[in-house]
Structure 1
Amino acid sequence: MPELDHEHVAIRTGPRSGLPVIVAVHSTALGQAVGGCRVWRYADWRDGLTDALRLSAGMTAKCAVAGLANGGGKTVVAVPEGTELDPALRRRVLEDVADAVASLDGTYATGPDVGTSPEDMAVIGERTAHVFCRPVERGGSGDSSPATALGTLAALRAVRHRLHGTPALKGARVSLVGLGSVGLRLAGLLAEEGAELLVSDIDPAKRAPARELGATWTSPGQALTAEADILVPAALGGILTGDVVPELRCAAIAGPANNQLATEPVADLLHERGILWVPDYVVSAGGAINALAVELRHETPEEARVRVEAIEHTVTELLHEAEHRNVTPARAATDLARRRLDAARARRPVT
């Protein structure tokens, strides 16, 4: 379990669903904490707690590096293995989540994550206003996946420029692990850019859309260690372990999957091998940037898109600083987030 340096962690048994509902607020130093609602199966509810703690801390870093006036939080509903979420039970789960979020009096707002959708956010929104990414017709910014994919593409351009002196992705050999809502959209964007795509997913049904994009299909294990310019993790986290690092045959890793490193020292192992790793919370910030721009600042979709595409500049600056200081990009990003959080705390009035 990660170190507990959170402002607030609430664990309750949902009175309607009977399932563990975990809300972790890592930091509100920069402003209201934001972070998705993950409904996922776990062998033990404490595994869900570990996820909530790590993911909420990652959201704090994501917002800080992106320059957002928000902190990080996360909701996890730990569904026991073998439990089927029929529509009735799913609604009860979402109502339990809504009450847990509402109990925090606006210090935290949630949005979609693994296992939830904009439609689910509309259900949560029936009981609390502290929710993002409801469907557009329900007053929200809709599905965050397109913006997350677009932001990832911007990050990949910065990585490509760092490796080859050009942001153009045409001809780049990209191995993409995971064709979920973000991964499949990203694959489409990369195909449009002319990248040479190797793709994988645990769901064999994703082979058909991959074929339509002209991508080469392989297994997730083979995609992970394939020879590539850039490896793009876009599924669940923890795939970069100390054991797998020696097997990697890529020049760089940058993808939207959360918690890609099994442990923090893996970043140093990658650096020692000369593999450029851009922290996932930097790469995946597009969805949060878009939702907050549209729903909090009431910007137009075009204005929000400009903010999302600025991830390319953010990654470029981080890579430059890392090279200048001879540290990993992970260290450069952590230091930047810490400076912004420390500055925000210093501005807080003493009570």
Structure 2
Amino acid sequence: MFALMQSTRTQSLHLCIDPPTGLKAVVAIHSEHLGPAMGGCRYLAYPDDDSAMIDAIRLAQGMSYKAALAGLPLGGGKAVIIRNPHVENRAALFEAFGRFVETLQGRFITAVDSGTSTLDMDCIAQTTQHVTSTTAAGDPSPHAAMGVFAGIRATSMARLGSDNLEGLRIAVQGLGNVGYALAEQLHAAGAELLVSDHDPGRVQLAIEQFNARPVANEMLISTPCDIFAPCGVGPVLNGQSVMQLRCAAVAGAANNQLTTLQVADQLESRGILYAPDYVINAGGLIYVALRHRGEDLGTITAHLARIPSRLTEVFAHAQAEKRSPARVAQMLAERLIYS
């Protein structure tokens, strides 16, 4: 684990257990150079404890890059609560997690993420003030989707020569809160949707509301489309899966889409434009960060509107330097964090 921390330049890793509630939690703080670390709290099952720590470390690094490129005075962090199938009192568990966050004395601010809700954040808020995306602050998912939608338009312009999505075939992998909101916006823009999700109910809703075409999870990545939009959990692009892609671009809401930077080079060699995840999906972080600071919706919307221009900047650098956009984005982010 120390080797991974060193290679990712992760600042610290914090572990907590609370036997009365069953809490097993990890907080990774990647950087505090630009400000306190902010990152969501995941509540998921993991095959083992090391997998949870690795997830937290890699996601925290992405949050640092995301905050830096979004122009936010924040560092990057991530919390992972290892989900136990038999939890007697969910509220008590999240209150215990809030006490853990409080011990970090403001170095880490948490928010909603995969497997958690605004109600869970309300429970955390009972024991610490270092939390956002509570019921009062609002769900960041629609704003995250708004940013990704704008980013897909920018990606379409860069790769296909137009930001008009009407008639484009877009494959949305994952119909969670952000993925479903994104599908809604894409449908309104006239895109033809291919969708997959582990929850058949979400797929059926997309069929009924967006006239989407369902595709089996394992088949979606190899289905011909214009843009592949990963919106689920975990890395979906590896050496094998990239060779199955039949699209012009990859642009979606998921974090940590690439297993390694070498995968980004593979995409580049195949002529598939990649929108770096922590650039295109910054809308959720922008929303929770600015709401936590007390900004109004007008200010938040204006900040969200910068996502396409930042993506366009990354694409331009990548084209000029004949490098993957992922490598360019990392270079730009690290220049801001470590300069």
Band of TM-score, shorter chain: over 0.9
Q: Distance in 2 between matches of 1:245 and 1:24?
A: 29
Matched residue, 1:169? 165
Residue 64 of structure 1 aligns to which amino acid in structure 2?
Answer: A
Matched residue, 1:322? 318
Q: Which secondary structure state, in structure 1, belongs to the residue aligned with residue 38 of structure 2?
A: strand
Q: What is the CA-CA distance between 1:202 and the residue it aligns to?
A: 1.1
CA contact (8 A) 1:42 1:79 kept: yes
Residue 110 of structure 2 aligns to which amino acid in structure 1?
Answer: T
Q: Distance in 2 between matches of 1:283 and 1:152?
A: 5
Residue 250 of structure 2 aligns to which amino acid in structure 1?
Answer: I
Q: What is the CA-CA distance between 1:16 and the residue it aligns to?
A: 3.0
Q: CA RMSD in A?
A: 1.3
Q: Please say which of residues 260-269 and 227-236 is displaced more in the overlay.
A: 260-269
Matched residue, 1:347? none
Matched residue, 1:63? 67
Residue 93 of structure 1 aligns to which amino acid in structure 2?
Answer: L
CA deviations over 1:192-229 (Å, ceiling 9, x no partner): 00011111111111132111211111111221111111
CA deviations over 1:284-341 (Å, ceiling 9, x no partner): 1101111222221x32212211211221111111101111111110011001101111
CA contact (8 A) 2:11 2:31 kept: yes
Q: Which secondary structure state, in structure 1, belongs to the residue aligned with residue 145 of structure 2?
A: helix
Q: Distance in 2 between matches of 1:6 and 1:239?
A: 23
Is 1:46 matched up with 2:46? no
Residue 48 of structure 1 aligns to which amino acid in structure 2?
Answer: A
Q: Which secondary structure state, in structure 1, belongs to the residue aligned with residue 240 of structure 2?
A: coil
- Which runs of structure 2 are paired with 1:129-278 in the superposition (5 Å)? 129-136=129-136, 140=137, 142-211=138-207, 212-278=209-275
CA deviations over 1:156-183 (Å, ceiling 9, x no partner): 0110111222211111110110101111
CA contact (8 A) 1:57 1:73 kept: yes
CA contact (8 A) 1:154 1:310 kept: no
Residue 147 of structure 1 aligns to which amino acid in structure 2?
Answer: H
Matched residue, 2:112? 112
Q: Which secondary structure state, in structure 2, belongs to the residue aligned with residue 246 of structure 1?
A: helix
Residue 57 of structure 1 aligns to which amino acid in structure 2?
Answer: Q
CA contact (8 A) 2:22 2:87 kept: no
Q: Which secondary structure state, in structure 2, belongs to the residue aligned with residue 92 of structure 1?
A: helix
Matched residue, 2:86? 84
Q: Distance in 1 between matches of 2:328 and 2:168?
A: 26
Is 1:103 matched up with 2:100? no
Q: What is the CA-CA distance between 1:279 and the residue it aligns to?
A: 1.4
Matched residue, 1:3? 4
Between the two proteins, what is the percent identity of the paired residues?
39
Q: Please say which of residues 117-126 and 165-174 is displaced more in the overlay.
A: 165-174
CA contact (8 A) 2:28 2:79 kept: yes
Matched residue, 1:348? none
Residue 21 of structure 2 aligns to which amino acid in structure 1?
Answer: S
Q: What is the CA-CA distance between 1:19 and the residue it aligns to?
A: 3.2
Gaps of 5+ in 1: 344-351
Q: Which secondary structure state, in structure 2, belongs to the residue aligned with residue 29 of structure 1?
A: coil
Residue 85 of structure 1 aligns to which amino acid in structure 2?
Answer: V
* TM-score computed with the length of structure 1 as normaliser: 0.92
Q: Distance in 1 between matches of 2:296 and 2:17?
A: 40
Gaps of 5+ in 2: none
Residue 97 of structure 1 aligns to which amino acid in structure 2?
Answer: F
- Tell me which stretches of 4 or more aligned residues in structure 1 moved more than 3 Å: none
Q: Distance in 2 between matches of 1:50 and 1:242?
A: 20
Q: Distance in 2 between matches of 1:19 and 1:125?
A: 16
Matched residue, 2:40? 36
Q: Distance in 2 between matches of 1:182 and 1:170?
A: 21
Q: Which secondary structure state, in structure 1, belongs to the residue aligned with residue 72 of structure 2?
A: coil
Q: Distance in 1 between matches of 2:243 and 2:328?
A: 24
Residue 155 of structure 1 aligns to which amino acid in structure 2?
Answer: G
Q: What is the CA-CA distance between 1:266 and the residue it aligns to?
A: 0.9
Q: Distance in 1 between matches of 2:10 and 2:96?
A: 22
Q: Which secondary structure state, in structure 1, belongs to the residue aligned with residue 149 of structure 2?
A: helix
Q: Distance in 1 between matches of 2:296 and 2:31?
A: 28
Q: Which secondary structure state, in structure 2, belongs to the residue aligned with residue 11 of structure 1?
A: strand
